[in-house]
């Protein structure tokens, strides 16, 4: 490859930054959930890497993206970072903290399927949060996409949002666990490009931003329409609402035409898994593969000569047709369906080539 073609490829390749959480999921198999004052024996213990940020980062990398995870573990257990590297995630900007333990989820799973979870925030809430400007200046080239959740301090997430928006990045927010009503009301929605929520979160978000009770029995299409119609969310390019086994709905602003802006609503049925072993991590797999599809749209349009680079706002380009929207959502849905066929969260995320083979079947 010539130096000029190499430079062109580098300038159009998307780079995704994920400042978020990484945990160790300690899962105990028990006969029944322990009661107050009771001591019981576990019949098994499994330690796996977890955390929404880590899972989404793994999904992005396995989907073929240049994914950079920004987060922290403790010196007590830094092996989850190695699990990310095995999957192709860049961890150069991750920290290993002394005196602060790696975040953990202590999970009990009983024989009847009941579970209980105790969370330790640990290194996900570091004494000195990372600086967005320092993070982005340390990257090998300008970032194009920024993926945010809500398992680190919201103030840190908001700082990354503002910085990323100012640099022309496409900003994606998957606010899980959902912030408080007050936090949602003060969120910079005008700096957010893509929102990904499940249906329950969508209902809670409507209630938080309108102050009115929401009927949980209303049609999913009505919930999506109410979401996309909120004055705070009207400028969002993508409002995506996942529905598990019932599929996904999205309200998307297409590229401007001679007639002006056009918002389209797309409904897709869920892709059918061959078997259902574990739904853990399916949502993170969907989010990662959806962002990877958006990143590829950016790369394709940049290579076509539309102008590349985050500074020009190129990563914020909208899809040009409903067909493009369906393609992005379908790919993410197939990946999520494949994830539930395997036990575990990060371990269940499929590779790009395996998803492609399933798409071609």
Active-site residue numbers? Answer: 284
Closest by CA position to 284, among listed 200, 193, 210, 347: 347
150/130 Cα distance (integer angstroms): 15
24 marked as part of a ligand binding site: yes
243 marked as part of a ligand binding site: yes
354 marked as part of a ligand binding site: no
283 marked as part of a ligand binding site: yes
64, containing H or E segment: none
At 45, list the tokens.
């213990």
What contacts 284, CB < 8 A, 6 or more positions away? 52, 55, 56, 59, 345, 349
245 marked as part of a ligand binding site: yes
288 marked as part of a ligand binding site: no
151 marked as part of a ligand binding site: yes
Cβ–Cβ < 8 Å for 145, 294:
yes
Cβ–Cβ < 8 Å for 264, 329:
no
Closest by CA position to 335, among listed 347, 349, 314: 349
64 marked as part of a ligand binding site: no
44 marked as part of a ligand binding site: no
Closest by CA position to 232, among listed 195, 200, 287: 195
342 marked as part of a ligand binding site: yes
Q: What residues pair up with 179 in beta bridges, in sequence order?
A: none
What contacts 260, CB < 8 A, 6 or more positions away? none
> Taking the C-alpha atoms of 177, 179, 181 and 187 in order, what is their torsion angle to the nearest 10 degrees?
-130
Cβ–Cβ < 8 Å for 351, 331:
no
- Long-range (24+ apart) CB contacts under 8 A made by 231-237 are 232/187, 232/189, 233/189, 233/195, 233/209, 235/189, 235/190, 236/189, 236/192, 236/193, 236/194, 236/195, 237/193, 237/194, 237/316, 237/318
112 marked as part of a ligand binding site: no
292 marked as part of a ligand binding site: no
244 marked as part of a ligand binding site: yes
8/344 Cα distance (integer angstroms): 39
92 marked as part of a ligand binding site: no
At 268, list the tokens.
């897709």
339 marked as part of a ligand binding site: yes
313 marked as part of a ligand binding site: no
Closest by CA position to 278, among listed 109, 92, 54, 69: 109
204 marked as part of a ligand binding site: no
51 marked as part of a ligand binding site: yes
200 marked as part of a ligand binding site: no
What contacts 35, CB < 8 A, 6 or more positions away? none
Binding residues: 23-25, 51-55, 151, 198, 242-247, 278, 280, 283-284, 339, 342, 344, 348
Task: Return binding residues for K(+).
Answer: 278, 280, 339, 342, 344, 348
**Residues annotated in a binding site for substrate:** 23-25, 51-55, 151, 284
Which residues make up each annotated binding site for ATP?
198, 242-247, 283-284
């Amino acid at each position: 490859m010539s130096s000029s073609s190499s430079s062109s490829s580098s300038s159009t390749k998307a780079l995704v930054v994920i400042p978020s959480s990484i945990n160790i999921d300690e899962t105990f198999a028990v006969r029944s959930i322990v009661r107050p004052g009771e001591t019981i024996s576990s019949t098994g213990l499994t330690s796996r890497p977890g955390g929404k940020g880590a899972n989404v980062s793994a999904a992005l990398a396995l989907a073929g993206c240049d994914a950079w995870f920004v987060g922290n573990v403790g010196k007590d257990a830094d092996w989850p970072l190695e699990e990310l590297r095995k999957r192709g995630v860049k961890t150069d900007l991750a920290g290993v903290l002394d005196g602060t333990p790696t975040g953990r989820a202590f999970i009990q799973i009983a024989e009847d399927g009941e579970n209980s979870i105790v969370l330790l925030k640990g290194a996900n809430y570091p004494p000195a949060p990372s600086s967005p400007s320092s993070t982005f200046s340390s990257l090998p080239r300008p970032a194009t996409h920024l993926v945010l959740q809500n398992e680190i301090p919201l103030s840190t997430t908001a700082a990354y949002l503002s910085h990323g928006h100012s640099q022309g990045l496409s900003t994606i927010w998957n606010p899980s666990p959902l912030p408080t009503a007050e936090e949602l009301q003060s969120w910079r929605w005008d700096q957010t490009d893509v929102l990904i929520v499940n249906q329950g979160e969508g209902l809670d978000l409507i209630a938080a931003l309108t102050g009115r009770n929401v009927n949980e029995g209303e049609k999913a299409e009505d919930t999506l329409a109410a979401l996309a119609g909120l004055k705070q969310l009207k400028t969002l390019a993508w409002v995506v609402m996942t529905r598990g086994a019932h599929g996904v709905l999205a309200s998307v602003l297409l590229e401007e035409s001679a007639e002006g802006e056009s918002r389209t609503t797309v409904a897709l049925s869920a892709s059918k898994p061959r078997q259902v072993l574990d739904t853990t991590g399916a949502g993170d797999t969907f989010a990662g593969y959806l962002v990877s599809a958006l990143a590829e749209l950016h790369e394709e349009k940049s290579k076509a000569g539309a102008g590349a680079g985050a500074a020009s706002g190129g990563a914020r380009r909208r899809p040009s047709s409903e067909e493009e929207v369906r393609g992005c959502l379908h790919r993410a849905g197939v990946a999520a369906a494949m994830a539930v066929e395997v036990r575990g969260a990060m371990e269940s995320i499929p590779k790009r080539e395996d998803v492609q083979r399933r798409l071609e079947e």
